[in-house]
Amino acid sequence: MPPLNFTVEPGGALRGRLRVPGDKSISHRAIMFGALAEGKTTVSGFLEGEDCLATLRAFRAMGVRIEGPDRGQVAVHGVGLHGLRAPVGPLDMGNSGTSMRLMSGLLAGQAFDTVLTGDASLTRRPMRRVTDPLARMGARIESSERGTAPLRIHGGQRLRGIDYPLPVASAQVKSCLLLAGLYAEGVTRITEPAPTRDHTERMLEGFGYSLQRESERTFALKGKGCLLAAELDIPADISSSAFFLVGASIAPGSDLVLEHVGVNPTRSGVIDILRLMGADIEILNARLAGGEPVADLRVRHAPLRGIRIPEALVPLAIDEFPALFVAAACAKGETVLTGAEELRVKESDRIQVMADGLGALGIVAEPAPDGITIHGGALAGGAIDSHGDHRVAMSFAVAALRADSTLRIRDCANVDTSFPGFVVLAQKAGLAVRESR
């Protein structure tokens, strides 16, 4: 089948009210924790994207009965921490790094062997960041010579808790080790160098599992406990909202409300960075939903200025930087990002891929090993290769709001991994985007 491409006509504004799909990070964890809990967990707002469906299919393959998804509604009949069954073949995680890294910790504590694999992109992504500390806990995991998937996880290992200072701020590594800690003897203690998204910690507590917060950045969990079923209401994904936050900020005449967005303080760096650049973002109707802070976000066009992005905000906006790079391209002056080497090992090398794409549109973008400098200017039209990266594809789609001619974005099929229905919702808001093959 020919690749899926986007064609986006220039100009326009974003207006109205939208609710983007559910949070991807929370959707993954809802299936995982629901499967390991005692009893029936009900979930609303589940993201029916390919990444989260890969997690759901993996647990079905291990004997968990899951009803749905049906318009975001899912019911997970938990089997308890020791009720999973050996799958008949490898578990395919598709394009989902979250699935593979978190599942590595969870499966290290099982009595049976498993193999985790994925698509061409996922099998290039580094996995030693989880397999090395898991080995210190007593896990046996085989990977490729490069430390990538497929991962062969040997069951029946005796795990023990460890004290582990994370070398880099990574919610995926933290969550992987906490999940392994459920099966370990003693205490698993993790210290992170900077705050990262805390959905795993919140969900542990929501499922009745004791977690000790010893300091702002140190968490301790004692193994061999029990998870109890819960009811979960998953908010709209702030990472998916980011494309519309940026689009409405850069497009004159825009006035857009994004409904029921998760504004967890460990995820809201995109709002903080855009506000530092001069964005007009108003937080309305702030409340709690299923233990997660949510709000409606009203964003209106405002002139943006280049800034030096505070490194403290980098882990709090790590997935939103492709969209933020578009904001920087439309800002007056120079935007400098440092401390973001993690962007080079995402679904693509997002620093280089975004620099190449912006350069193709006439923007001076200077990549560095751990960041980028972007000089704001006028955006031309042209052809962009997304390299199969969903966030790159959607970021350049909203860039067309300020381009002087048509943008054609190649290799966009993976948008469905995180944002099914993006094109329809973007059209509703006022973006002149269409799909083609």
Rounded CA separation 343/392 (Å): 12
Give the residue among 51, 54, 108, 53 at the shortest CA–CA distance from 84. Answer: 108
Residue type, 199: H
Q: Is beta strand 73-79 parallel, antiparallel or unpaired with respect to 38-44? A: antiparallel
Rounded CA separation 341/196 (Å): 15
Contact 168, 141 (CB under 8 A): no
Give the residue among 132, 96, 133 at the shortest CA–CA distance from 116. Answer: 96
Residue 284 exposed, middle or buried by CB count within 10 Å (0-12, 13-18, 19+): exposed
For residue 245, what is the enclosing H or E element? helix 238-250
Rounded CA separation 54/132 (Å): 24
Catalytic residue among 319, 389, 411, 416: 319
Q: What is the DSSP letter of 178?
A: H
Find the DSSP H helices in 252-387: 269-276, 321-329, 350-360
Residue 218 exposed, middle or buried by CB count within 10 Å (0-12, 13-18, 19+): middle
Q: What is the DSSP letter of 403?
A: B
Rounded CA separation 142/248 (Å): 46
Q: Side by side, which strands form the sheet with 218-222?
A: 163-165, 187-191, 218-222, 212-215
Residue at token pair 């120079």: 334
Does the annotation mark 233 as catalytic? no
Q: Which residues contact 71 (CB under 8 A, 6 or more apart)?
A: none
Both tokens assigned to 247? 């689009």
Give the residue among 113, 120, 206 at the shortest CA–CA distance from 156. Answer: 113
Contact 168, 195 (CB under 8 A): no
Q: Is 426 helix (H, G, I), strand (E, B) or coil?
A: helix
Query: Residues with catalytic annotation?
Result: 319
